[in-house]
Amino acid sequence: MIIPEKLKSLKPYDPAELQPRFKLDANESFIDPPDYILRSISASVGSVDLKRYPDPGAKELCAEAASFYGVPEDCIVASNGSDEMISIIFNCFLNKGDTMLVSEPDFSMYRFYAHLAEARVITSEKICLTADPSDIKRLAFSGNASLVIFSNPCNPTGTGLKRKDVLELVSKLDCLAVIDEAYMEFWDESIVADVINLPNVIVLKTCSKALGIAGVRLGFAIGNKNIIDLIKKSKSPFNVNSLTQAAGRALLREKEYIKKCVSRIKASRDILARELGKTAADYPGSFEVFKTVANFVLLKSDIAEKLYTALLEKGILVRRVMGDYLRITAGSDEENEAVAECILELLKKEGNDG
C-alpha cells in the first residue's frame, strides 16, 4: 500500500486531552444550561426515531437557524461543527494546486484542511494582531487565490475587522471569501445580513461558543442560495445526526436565554481582562494584556512558559499560542479568580527570586 505524501507530512491538530480542574483552553462556554433548557433539549432529543436516518437536509433545524440568524431558509446549510463545513468548502471550491490565502495568525485548521485538499497556502501577516484588508487584497490578486479565509473576530488574537471593512474587502475580491464568525456573538460587526446578496462570500457560524453546546457538534454556512446549493450537493447526505438536529432546534428557539449567556460571557471576559491588566500594571514588563472582542483574553509574556506551567500545576489549562502568548478562555468567577491568583503568585515569587 502506498501512503499519499499529504498524509505522511500531515501534522494532526492537538486538542489538549488533559483533564484539568479548570479547562480554559478551548474557548467553550462556562455556563451550564438551566433545568428548563435541559428539559427542552431532552424532550426534543427524546422524540427522535433512532432507527431512521437523519433528515438529510436538516430542514427543521435550518429553519430554526435561519430564524435565529435572520436569513432565508434556503441560504443556510448545517454541518457537523464548523470544522466539517470548512472541509466541505475546501473540497468543493478548491482543486489540487489551487491557491488559498489565510491571514495569520489564525485558526490552525484552515491550513490542515487546505493540506488535505492539496491546495497551496499563501499568508497575509496580521498587523498588530489584526487582519490587513489591503494586504489580503494585494496578495489574493498577485497570488491568483481561489479562496480567502479568515476568522472575524480572530482566534487566537481576539481582534476583529468592522463590518464595513469586511464588506469593502470582499467586494474587491474576484475569488470566494469565507468569513468565520465563530466569535461574532461577542461583537456586533457581523455581515450575515449582507452575505445572502453577495456573489462570492460564505459566513460560518458555530454553536460551540456563545451557544454553549460544543459537545453537540453543530455549525452552519450562510451565503447566497447559489453557493449554498453547491455546498448541499457536495456534503454527505446525512452529515448532521438526528440527536444533534434535535438539540440544535431546541436551543436555537431560546433567543433570550442565548442573549443572556452572551452578556454573561462578555462580562466574564471583561472582568478577567481587567484583573490581569491590574496585575500587569503592578508588575511592569511581566506581561501585556491585549484588547479582545472574543470570549477569551490574550496575553504576551517573556515568561509565557512559566506562566503556562504554573497554571497547569494548579489544574488550570490554558492555550499557549504564537510562542510567547497565552490565550485564556473567560470562565466562571471561580475560574477567573484562580487564573488571576495563580499568575499573581508566580510573579511575586519571581520578584522575590530576583
Domains and CATH numbers, the chain: 5-29+257-352 (3.90.1150.10), 35-253 (3.40.640.10)
- Buried-state track 165-174, b at ≥16 Cβ within 10 A, e below 16: ebbebbeebe
Nearest Cα neighbor of 79 from 180, 11, 199, 173 is 180
pTM, whole model, 2 decimals?
0.94
Q: What is the pLDDT of residues 305-333, one digit of tens each?
A: 999 999 999 999 999 999 999 999 999 99
What would the mean pLDDT of 153-170 be, rounded to a whole number? 98
Of the pLDDT bands very low, low, confident and very high (cuts 50, 70, 90), residue 16 is low
Dmax (CA) of the chain: 67
Contact 161, 137 (CB under 8 A): no
Any alpha helices (H) in 47-101, and if so which ranges?
Answer: 59-69, 81-93
What would the mean pLDDT of 100-108 be, rounded to a whole number? 97
Q: What is the pLDDT of residue 246?
A: 98
Q: Which long-range contacts (CB under 8 A, 24 or more apart) does 303-312 make?
A: 303/346, 303/350, 306/346, 306/350, 307/343, 307/346, 310/342, 310/343, 310/345, 310/346, 311/339, 311/342, 311/343, 312/18, 312/20
How much of the chain, in percent, has pLDDT values that exceed 90?
93
pLDDT for 280 beyond 70: yes
Cell of 295: 470570549
Of the pLDDT bands very low, low, confident and very high (cuts 50, 70, 90), residue 10 is confident
